[in-house]
Structure 1
């Protein structure tokens, strides 16, 4: 989990737990990625159901 956190967000899990500002930054980035993935799924479903 430590390696994935560092590769994905450039921050260690310990720093993520300690630093509130860093945690907010990571969570905003995760939310943005989630919303982008929803849009991709929606586009693919739209193309499939033509």
Structure 2
């Protein structure tokens, strides 16, 4: 948690604003990974 987001799990648990920021960042990363995956799949097929 600390390596990827700069805060520890305890702080993540306590601070709702930071938790929401991290979860939004995770969602963006997830959507980007889906786009990359879909692009690779189109190129292969």
Taking structure 2 as the reference length, the TM-score comes to 0.97
Taking structure 1 as the reference length, the TM-score comes to 0.88
Aligned to 1:19: 15
Runs of 5+ unmatched residues, structure 2: none
Aligned to 2:30: 34
Structure 1 stretches of at least 4 aligned residues deviating more than 4 Å after TM superposition? none
- Aligned-residue CA RMSD in angstroms? 0.4
Give the CA deviation at 1:42: 0.3
Runs of 5+ unmatched residues, structure 1: none
When the two structures are aligned, how many residues end up with a matched partner?
A: 45
Q: Distance in 2 between matches of 1:18 and 1:32?
A: 23
Give the CA deviation at 1:21: 0.2
